[in-house]
Amino acid sequence: MTRATYLSPPDLYRLDWACRPIRLAFNTPPYLVGSALERSDYRDIDLRLILSDRRHKQLVGTRGELVLLLNIALSDLVARTAGQRAPIDFQIQSQSEANAIKGLRVPMGGRDATGWGPKGGTP
């Protein structure tokens, strides 16, 4: 049997719920990526908000300190909201940067009280 993630169902639900405001604010979901999708001994929970290259440049330009500040703030916000035991590594990436990295991506922030997606149901 293969697993979609090594997070427990309650942890995954809380993480998804914590990502909902980010999805709504940016009109695109953050993605669960990395070791929590690959193995049970993951060290942290990797989340990536992938923006088009143009939108990424508009948001952060060449100011590395702004993207660092946003990454730290969103890592802390999601960790506190989701109550995760593992640290959250949240990063905002350009589409080009994200596409250079191979691996699975699971969209987050799409579940509400009625289920997945804007009208409930399954993803």
Cα distance between residue 74 and residue 90, in whole Å: 6
Task: Give pLDDT tens digits along the chain (123 positions).
Answer: 467 899 999 999 999 999 999 999 999 999 999 999 999 999 999 999 999 999 999 888 777 788 899 999 999 999 999 998 899 999 999 999 999 999 999 999 987 655 555 444 333
Beta bridge partners of 111: 116
Q: What is the pLDDT of residue 115?
A: 57
Dihedral (Cα; 69, 104, 18, 117), 10-degree rounding: 130
Q: Is the pTM of this model over 0.95?
A: no
Domains and CATH numbers, the chain: 28-110 (3.30.460)
Distance (Å) of CA 96 to CA 48, 52, 59, 99, 109: 13, 8, 15, 5, 22
